[in-house]
Amino acid sequence: MVIRDILERQRPAFSFEFFPPKTEADSEALFHTIADLVPLKPASVSVTYGAGGTTRDRTHQLVVRLASETNLTVAAHLTCIGSTQDEILSVLERYDQNGICNILALRGDPPRGAEAWQATPGGFQYAGELVAFIKNRFPHFGMGVAGFPEGHPGTPNRLKEIDHLKAKVDAGADYIVTQLFFDNRDFYDFCERCELAGIKVPIIAGIMPVATRQGMVRMAELAAGARLPAPLLKAVARCTDDAAVEKAGIHWATEQVRDLIDHNVRGIHFYTLNKAKATRQIYETLNMGNLAHV
Domain boundaries, the chain: 3-286
Taken in order 113, 115, 120, 124, the sign of the CA dihedral is positive
Taken in order 283, 10, 188, 127, the sign of the CA dihedral is positive
Q: What is the pLDDT of residue 183?
A: 96
Q: What is the pLDDT of residue 116?
A: 64
Q: What is the pLDDT of residue 221?
A: 75
Contact partners, residue 96, CB within 8 Å, separation at least 6: 138, 141
207-225 mean pLDDT: 83
Does the pLDDT value for residue 222 go beyond 70? no
- Residue 107's pLDDT band (cuts 50, 70, 90): confident
- Residue 112's pLDDT band (cuts 50, 70, 90): low
Single-letter amino acid code for the residue at 27: S
CATH class of 3-286: alpha beta
By the 8 A CB rule, do 10 and 293 touch? yes
Question: Per-residue b/e over 169-185, b at no fewer than 16 CB within 10 Å?
Answer: bebbbbbbbbbbbbbbe
- Residue 294's pLDDT band (cuts 50, 70, 90): very low
By the 8 A CB rule, do 7 and 267 touch? yes
φ/ψ of residue 266, rounded to 5: -70, -30
Average pLDDT, the chain: 89
Contact partners, residue 84, CB within 8 Å, separation at least 6: 120, 121, 122, 123
- Which residue would you say has higher pLDDT here, 28 or 274? 274
| DSSP track, 48-78 | ---GGGTTHHHHHHHHHHHHHHS---EEEEE
How many Å apart are CA 248 and CA 225, to the nearest integer? 21
Q: Quick one: 240 exposed, middle or buried, by C-beta within 10 A (0-12, 13-18, 19+)? A: exposed
211-228 mean pLDDT: 81
Q: What is the pLDDT of residue 293?
A: 45
The shares of helix, strand and coil residues in the chain, as percent rounded to the nearest 5, are 50, 15, 35
pLDDT per residue as tens digits for the range 199-211:
999 999 999 999 9
Does the pLDDT value for residue 11 go beyond 80? yes
Active-site residue among 17, 150, 161, 246?
A: 17
Q: What is the pLDDT of residue 292?
A: 54
- Residue 35's pLDDT band (cuts 50, 70, 90): confident
- Which residue would you say has higher pLDDT here, 32 or 47? 47
- Which residue would you say has higher pLDDT here, 36 or 142? 142
Does the pLDDT value for residue 134 go beyond 90? yes
Q: Please, what is the end-to-end C-alpha distance for the chain in angstroms?
A: 11
Does the pLDDT value for residue 195 go beyond 80? yes
Q: Specify whether 221 is catalytic.
A: no
pLDDT per residue as tens digits for the range 235-291:
999 999 999 999 999 999 999 999 999 999 999 999 999 999 999 999 999 999 777
80-98 mean pLDDT: 91
163-191 mean pLDDT: 96
DSSP E strands, 122-275: 142-147, 175-180, 203-207, 267-271
Query: Beta-carbon neighbour count of residue 56 at 10 Å?
Result: 19
- Residue 106's pLDDT band (cuts 50, 70, 90): very high
